[in-house]
A and B are shown apart, each in its own frame.
Chain A
């Protein structure tokens, strides 16, 4: 659930410089941290969603510390911490365990993966997706993912969706969310037909808060998604497809595993393609504005 970029946010237009609007217009790099912090506080204050404040702070602290140390070692300079903050806060919300150590371990694994698993100078897995998948797969006796919170109520979800949609639209990535949701709903129908379970039961998971975080923060991660809009849409369609297949096999943590399995494939392909000698008629792709500041090693 980290978010990274290699580009700067779009500069404010000359006409808006110095105007009140400028002060209301938040730098894109801070949108995701602000959104996820808002979600955290809204959820905690209204429903007490966290296992505990210390666990979440532990996750954030471990994430930030790991980022500082590894970034300094690898880059030779202090990295921007917005990405690590998002990773930590995501771990703090999504990991469910009565113990403390899973929060530390998940953050450390997430951040370390960015620096350990690299190809052509880029990390290829969404760090918190990898971290949480590793926790769920390797430590099932100690860890579960967030599956039930927010009072199972529709209103917090709608608020998150409205806020998230507004922000994600500004970042020109809403098509990723929309494609995934549409695919999930379609595959829910298929699963319902195959298993005989009520359609609403098949749809139920996406109405929970875990999916809001998954949709807004994981699958849209600009640093581990391909550049073209079509490529992004196709990728999340396949994420939803693999998730549906996993669900048909009764895999409880299907979305995390699906993104873990599918996410890197098109991204690696793109990196491979970019590494080839360019032909004269190959068009340049354009990097979309992104959610968070770069923590990308040079």
Chain B
């Protein structure tokens, strides 16, 4: 009898091993979705394949940077020679893109940062004919990587002086710079008069009117420790003290806009001065208090959620909210109302490398019935199919196919060097060591030209509106394998669709022009504050259509080193029924637009 029992157990054991393989394959196929099938289709007639993709998925992305006159290629910095052996993984950030209509001609422009010493940033002005011209040099915002001043990591647009024109803040590993926009005709450097620190290593930034006084304030999240000059290292003990619990990064800063063109450092009194390794930040009223909260994705540690205490200070509630318990490698923060229920979910990207490190990205969905101090999130990334994105960086929510649901697009890839090589073994070896080892760059094995999660396939996840996302990147034409950093969404040709700007580290700035079926409706809102800050950053629009409610917010930054268009774009699907749009301005004013017309951008000024 026992022999039979053991035979059954042996069969059971073998069955479990087989099932293990099946479950693993299911995870992989869930992540890659339908890409390979459609990738084959693209190998044939591109035009016909594109038409098929538009019909099937509701979008097709065509890379058009050359045709649009954009030939920008990012350069990485060259830091202190003591870091030469691991330079690719240290000098691995700085490619960014931010969108704004800086000259208010109705066409969206964008700014891209470079990071090589002496390299130039570019401001691409939209000519309205499908092409762009670089005006950074002539307008005075190109030469920001001068040796001795640090190098650029990103930029954000915001009208800090409420003069109606978007000003430009460029954050750096080094000297952060602020430029006042002179009515779209030029920029004046005002850094020295506004009170920003001399040298900090900023990794993320956002504009946020945290006290709702009508002037946008500035949050800077630092990466490397403050004061660390990466070109003149006194010590190689500058790496994170832990791969998951590091607190030896740079400080977070909050600068309150005093309304007179200057800023006051209120980091300490606001309770915001964490020293984790901040890589992404975004602000929104997540708790329903009327005040914007700050969500920070930290590398080498847990995310932080700073709850706004009535515009006076912040309280970190990440752990109690459920987002700050499991330490990962946070690199992105994006908000999206993925269920059309009037609440934001939060997407935080991390690292997943098969067989080595499976952190998985986080899709934090607010638990039903929780708000305020009782706000709780659950990570739904796996069940909704958006968990595995490789070494993920920037990601954005947006209705890419105008079907009425917020989709998700992601870029990834860390260091693409020689194909077929991997630095992961060496990386994992040191990352598991104690702080004395991991924190000293000398202890990191040389990279010798190896890749580290390089040449990765990007992701486009289409939201079916019923709780699941399908990955279609290869099908719809998002096919580059560069080392992606920033993603920004903008309707670059005023066609009622979201195009994609992708900034790549040490690679080209790519523009994916989006094609969506004509029968899918859309509506846009461009807000201008009067009592509120002029950029209307923090304003919420709730659109009630087809029996659902979709929430979007004007943000001061989103994703990783990126800023989407300030205009809010809602896809509506076919033959939509739009009931109303409810705007809540940062001042607290609530404005309702009954049955707004579809197929146009509504220019809305805040009621006085």
The chain A residues found within 8 Å of chain B, CB to CB, are 47-48, 51-52, 70, 73-74, 96-99, 101, 105, 108-109, 112-113, 115-118, 134-136, 138-144, 147-149, 151-154, 157, 195-198, 200-205, 207-208, 210, 247, 250-253
Contacts and interface: CB of A to CB of B under 8 A. Distances in A.
A116 B23 contact: no
B590 interface: no
A289 to B, nearest CB: 29
B438 interface: yes
Given A105-B19, A153-B434, A204-B430, A70 B354 contact: no
Contacts of A48: 325-327
Given A139-B23, A141-B28, A201-B430, A109 B13 contact: yes
Contacts of A141: 24-25, 27-28, 31, 354-355, 358, 388
A142 B24 contact: yes
B9 to A, nearest CB: 5
B165 to A, nearest CB: 45
Nearest to B21: A138
B435 A252 contact: no
B593 interface: no
A73 B10 CA distance: 13
Nearest to A156: B434
Interface in B355-371: 355-360
Interface string B440-473: 1011111000000000000000000000000000
Interface in B1-57: 2, 5-6, 9-10, 12-14, 16-17, 19-21, 23-25, 27-28, 31
Nearest to A116: B13
Contacts of B12: 112, 116
Given A147-B357, A148-B243, A148-B431, A112 B16 contact: yes
B9 A253 contact: no
Most buried by B among A98, A147, A149: A98
Contacts of A136: 355
B244 A149 contact: yes
Given A98-B382, A105-B20, A142-B24, A147 B435 contact: no
Given A208-B432, A250-B422, A99 B27 contact: yes
B20 A134 contact: yes
17 contacts: A47-B245, A96-B358, A98-B358, A109-B13, A138-B17, A140-B354, A141-B31, A142-B24, A143-B24, A144-B356, A148-B431, A149-B244, A152-B244, A152-B435, A200-B433, A204-B432, A252-B355
Most buried by A among B25, B358, B431: B358
A195 B445 contact: yes
A138 B20 contact: yes
Interface in B320-364: 325-327, 354-360
A152 B387 CA distance: 26
A40 B561 CA distance: 38
B242 interface: yes
A101 B28 CA distance: 15
A4 to B, nearest CB: 17
A147 B359 CA distance: 12
Contacts of B354: 140-141
B603 interface: no
B23 A201 contact: no
Given A48-B327, A143-B24, A198-B442, 12 more contacts: A101-B23, A105-B20, A112-B12, A140-B354, A148-B431, A151-B242, A154-B436, A200-B433, A204-B429, A204-B437, A250-B425, A252-B425
A112 B9 contact: yes
Given A99-B382, A201-B426, A252-B355, A109 B20 contact: yes
B293 interface: no
Given A141-B24, A201-B444, A153 B355 contact: no
B434 A208 contact: yes
Interface of B: 2, 5-6, 9-10, 12-14, 16-17, 19-21, 23-25, 27-28, 31, 241-245, 325-327, 354-360, 379, 381-382, 387-388, 422, 424-426, 428-438, 440, 442-446
A181 to B, nearest CB: 15
B434 A108 contact: no
Contact of B13 (A112, A200, A204): A112
B16 A109 contact: yes
Nearest to A147: B432
Contacts of B431: 147-148
A34 to B, nearest CB: 25
A253 B433 contact: no
B433 A208 contact: yes
B346 to A, nearest CB: 16
A81 to B, nearest CB: 18
A116 B27 CA distance: 27
Nearest to A144: B358
Contacts of B437: 200-201, 203-204, 207
A122 to B, nearest CB: 13
A204 B20 contact: no
A115 B10 CA distance: 8
A203 B434 CA distance: 10
Contact of A115 (B9, B24, B426): B9
A134 B245 contact: no
A148 B442 CA distance: 19
A113 B13 contact: yes
B600 to A, nearest CB: 42
B443 to A, nearest CB: 5
A13 to B, nearest CB: 39
B381 A98 contact: yes
A133 B27 CA distance: 19
Contacts of B425: 247, 250-252
A200 to B, nearest CB: 5
Contacts of A148: 242-244, 431-432
Nearest to A210: B432
B444 A152 contact: no
Contact of A98 (B244, B325, B387, B443): B387
Most buried by A among B245, B356, B379: B245
B355 A140 contact: yes
A200 B435 CA distance: 12
Contacts of A97: 358
A252 B422 CA distance: 11
Given A109-B17, A139-B24, A204 B356 contact: no
Contacts of A105: 16, 19-20, 23
Contacts of B445: 195-198, 201
Contact of A202 (B242, B243, B244, B429): B429
Most buried by B among A108, A195, A201, A205: A201
